[in-house]
């Protein structure tokens, strides 16, 4: 009797194990279809540590990448993303998805990276200059950084360029304590000003922030205007959005949920604007103005952008992915000044004096 009972229990256990394995396989297949490529940390590892914030953040950035790529492909069906998975010998890797020379998008890149290793001295110095007290052990600081980052440069000058980035950072100090923080933002860079679009973009981001705290949007909107400032030109890179960095309170879970809301707002804040204008007619003069504005975009990214600087200072980082944010074409003309009261002068006025778009 006891043996029979044991056999029954064993059979039941085998059946349950087979069911669990089948469920896992199903889940794995579904995840594979949901993403643009297998995740850097591997599906098994992510499932094993699925309650840890690092794994949940990696899943969120993978989902955001796929969501944005699919939304862009739906608008530019003739074009497709080249999907490029890469490894970093110092630890980790990433997935770069880049579309070039489509009908609607001249260049669109959506990158995910999950890297770990030891922080370089220059990168640590850059962080300390922002007020981080980092206590290294024998000069070594183990870190883990992950994020999704995208820049979309459309062909039509009436469709704005858009950038977003959401990231998580963890550093282990000499005594084993971990410092962590989130950063990110979404911002819009139009060639020509369309007030209706600006209001839609800002309102969508404000709604995402308001779910968590009505004080967040005004604070991060101002931060965005201040951050994307091309000092040597005396103008902003675009009409802003939201931006934050070093965010480590009230709690890990609450900040993660806030970042998730922001990431989920990317498609609704931008795609309707692309749909509305991607077939607008434009003149050679308007195309020229777009090229000159793109030159400003390049100036900001190469001179001031913190993410670009960090990437260039990190050993083994992938230069092609870091410079993916640069447009396919841009132009620098000597002493170019738009005519007073022109549409070109109108956007410059807003770039010099940021506006409140939601009140």
Active site residues: 163
**In the 8-state DSSP scheme, what is residue 339?**
P
Helix axes 195-210, 216-227, angle to 10 degrees: 130
Measured in whole angstroms, how far is the alpha carbon of residue 271 from the centre of its chain? 16
Q: Which helix (H) or strand (E) holds 182?
A: strand 178-189
Contact (Cβ atoms closer than 8 angstroms) between residue 321 and residue 308: no
296: closest CA among 231, 203, 221, 205?
A: 231
Q: How far apart are CA 153 and CA 325, in angstroms?
A: 9
Using a 10 angstrom Cβ sphere, with 0-12 exposed, 13-18 middle and 19 or more buried, the burial of residue 64 is: buried
Alpha-carbon separation of residue 57 from 5, 39, 98, 192, 250 (angstroms):
45, 12, 22, 35, 17
How far does the chain reach from its first CA to its final CA, in angstroms?
A: 78
Nearest to 316 by CA among 35, 127, 90: 90
Please give the structure tokens belonging to residue 169.
């950072």
């Amino acid at each position: 009797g006891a043996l029979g009972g044991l056999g029954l229990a064993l059979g039941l256990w085998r059946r349950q194990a087979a069911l669990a394995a089948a469920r896992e396989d199903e889940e794995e297949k579904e995840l594979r279809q949901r993403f643009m490529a297998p995740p850097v940390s591997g599906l098994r590892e992510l499932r094993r540590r699925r309650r840890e914030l690092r794994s949940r953040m990696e899943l969120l950035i993978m989902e955001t990448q796929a969501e944005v790529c699919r939304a862009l492909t739906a608008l530019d069906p003739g074009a497709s993303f080249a999907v490029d998975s890469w490894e970093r010998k110092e630890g980790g890797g990433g997935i770069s998805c880049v579309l070039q020379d489509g009908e609607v998008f001249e260049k669109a890149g959506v990158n995910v990276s999950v890297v770990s290793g030891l922080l370089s001295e220059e990168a640590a110095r850059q962080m300390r200059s922002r007020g981080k007290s980092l206590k290294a052990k024998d000069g070594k600081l183990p870190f883990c950084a992950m994020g999704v980052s995208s820049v979309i440069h459309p062909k039509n000058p009436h469709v704005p360029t858009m950038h977003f980035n959401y990231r998580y950072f963890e550093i282990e100090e000499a005594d084993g304590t971990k410092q962590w923080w989130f950063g990110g933002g979404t911002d819009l860079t139009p060639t020509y000003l369309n007030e209706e679009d600006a209001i839609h973009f800002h309102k969508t981001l404000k709604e995402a922030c308001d779910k968590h705290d009505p004080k967040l949007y005004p604070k991060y909107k101002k931060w965005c205007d201040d951050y994307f400032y091309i000092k040597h030109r005396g103008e902003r890179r675009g009409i802003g959005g939201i931006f934050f960095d070093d965010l480590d309170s009230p709690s890990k879970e609450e900040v993660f949920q806030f970042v998730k809301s922001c990431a989920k707002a990317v498609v609704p804040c931008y795609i309707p604007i692309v749909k509305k204008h991607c077939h607008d007619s434009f003149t050679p003069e308007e195309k020229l103005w777009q090229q000159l504005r793109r030159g400003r975009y390049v100036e900001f990214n190469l001179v001031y952008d913190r993410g670009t600087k960090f990437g260039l200072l990190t050993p083994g980082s992938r230069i092609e992915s870091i410079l993916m944010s640069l447009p396919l074409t841009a132009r620098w003309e000597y002493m170019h000044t738009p005519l007073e009261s022109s549409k070109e002068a109108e956007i410059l006025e807003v770039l010099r004096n940021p506006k409140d778009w939601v009140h």
